[in-house]
Amino acid sequence: MQFDSMALTLLLPVLGALVTGAVGNRWGKGISAVVASGSVFLSFLVVLFNLKTAWPGAEARSVDLWKWGTLTFGSGSADIYFGLYIDALSLTLMTVITGVGFLIHWFSTEYMKGDRDFTRYFCYLNLFIAAMTLLVLANNFLLLIIGWGGVGFASFALIGFWREKPSAAAAAKKAFVMNVVGDIGLMVAVFALFQNLHALDYATVLTDGVATILLDNNRGEWLPLVLLGLLVGAYAKSAQLP
């Protein structure tokens, strides 16, 4: 088991969502907003602290926080870890996620102050930040799927937040359907990779794994399915339709 300070960027918004959702109504709107916004701001500070590893020449790092267990699918099995992959790209994205995310929380404090479901809204916002963080920092495709699905759920919850409005409810349903299509595409691609490579960590799949599929004629037939699944996932998640 290892620890990395970047794990706090995931833990803090999760705790913020749990606390806000559980006791926010008892504490009042002011404290709920401080807890939710503060968790994202602290995550932003952690990212700034880690930006030194994004300097030119700095090495990326993959940190396995703990072992989940062993995944078996078809003829393959592999140890699955809850881990993070930190490099210049992920840190750049995390700067945007936590920085802009904090500003959205801050703006929403005033914008939503008259809403009766104030604390529920901030709980959803924290969940969205946590899901985006997991999506960006995951070091294997299983965590990527979980973060991907979490972003879809949080988007559905926020789009349909004012569920008494027919337009909001309809938009939320439309977003949910498109997200499910993307989820299926991504899962098909990931499990096709796993069936062939017996691995889900990025280090294996994106280096030796891709070369194996491209060079092995017996496995190359899976490549179109993998590419199609990834394309469907990206197409649906980026709201290309409808």
Each residue of 114-157: pLDDT tens digit? Answer: 888 888 999 999 999 999 999 999 999 989 999 999 998 998 88
- Cβ-Cβ contacts under 8 Å for 210 (sequence gap 6 or more): none
Task: Note the pTM of the prediction, 2 decimals.
Answer: 0.88
The 8-class DSSP code of residue 2 comes to -
Q: Please give the helix or strand (H or E) that residue 181 lies within, else none.
A: helix 166-197
Higher confidence at residue 13 or residue 81? 13
Q: Cα separation of 153 and 141, whole Å?
A: 18
60-69, 115-124, 132-141, 213-222: least confidently modelled range: 213-222
Would you call 92 helix, strand, or coil by DSSP? helix
174, two tokens: 């439309």
Average pLDDT of the chain? 85
> If you average pLDDT over each of 38-42, 108-112, 142-146, 214-218, which comes out highest?
38-42
Select the more confidently predicted residue: 53 or 35: 35
Q: How confident is the model at residue 98 (pLDDT cuts 50, 70, 90)?
A: very high
Least confident of 173-177, 225-229, 234-238: 234-238
CA-CA distance, 231 to 237, in Å (whole number)?
10
Residue 60's pLDDT is 81
pLDDT value for 107: 93
pLDDT bucket at 27, cuts 50 / 70 / 90:
confident
Instruction: State residue 70's pLDDT score.
Output: 78
Look-up of token digits 């592999």: 78
The average pLDDT across 212-220 equals: 59
- The predicted model gives 82-108 an average pLDDT of 93
Q: What percent of the chain has pLDDT over 90?
A: 35
Residue with tokens 């990779």: 193
* Structure-block tokens of residue 31: 């404290």
Sign of the torsion formed by the C-alpha atoms of 7, 9, 10 and 11: positive
- Tell me, what's the pLDDT at 128? 96
Q: What is the mean pLDDT of residues 182-207?
A: 84
Beta-carbon contacts of residue 186 (< 8 Å; ≥ 6 apart): 144, 145, 148, 229, 230, 232, 233
Q: Which position has the higher pLDDT, 117 or 18?
A: 18
Q: Mean pLDDT across the stretch 99-110?
A: 94
The pLDDT of residue 77 is 72
